[in-house]
Amino acid sequence: MLEVLSKKDDYWRKIALKICKDKYLADDLVNDMYLKLYNNEKANSDWYVIIVIRNLFLDSLKQKREISIDEVTIKETHNHFEIDDNELELIKGLKWWERELLELSYDHSLRELGEKLNINYAFIYRTIKRVRNGEKKK
């Protein structure tokens, strides 16, 4: 199987380079593809091989989630906002758990909140939506 794949080596490297935009990573992806498709009968299709290369690239991104401070430029921004009287009255009119859910929803996803608080995330979604729209509970 490797003999058939290696006949199109230049083509695979061009495809990998288009996917990842880095020559060295493209070479690694093609080498990993050869290892993955060794003795694989599905590798007859060019599309299958391209999908494998793409998935290998996505896997490499997942493994490389670490970001160093040197790579990122940190910009300090100050966002100031003021709450007007109407919004203050709406917030004061909320139950304590509605205020807590609203506050926590700014820092966490609804699924994270559901798992953290052991509450169905759909309930959290409906509650936050209702609170943000200023509706009273039925």
User: Would residue 109 count as lying in a domain?
Assistant: yes
User: Would residue 78 count as lying in a domain?
Assistant: no
pLDDT at 69 (0 to 100): 45
User: Would residue 68 count as lying in a domain?
Assistant: no
Number of domains observed in the structure of the chain? 2
State whether 12 and 43 are in the same domain.
yes
User: Would residue 94 count as lying in a domain?
Assistant: yes
Whether the model pTM is above 0.75: no
Domain range for residue 17? Answer: 2-63
User: Would residue 40 count as lying in a domain?
Assistant: yes
User: Would residue 74 count as lying in a domain?
Assistant: no
For residue 114, CA distances in Å to 1, 39, 108 come to 48, 45, 10
Closest CA relative to residue 27, chosen from 37, 12, 40: 12
User: What string of pLDDT tens digits covers the 138 residues of the chain?
Assistant: 778 888 889 999 999 999 888 899 999 999 999 988 888 776 678 888 888 999 998 888 877 765 444 444 444 444 445 566 776 777 777 888 888 887 788 788 888 888 888 888 888 888 888 887 777 665
State whether 59 and 8 are in the same domain.
yes
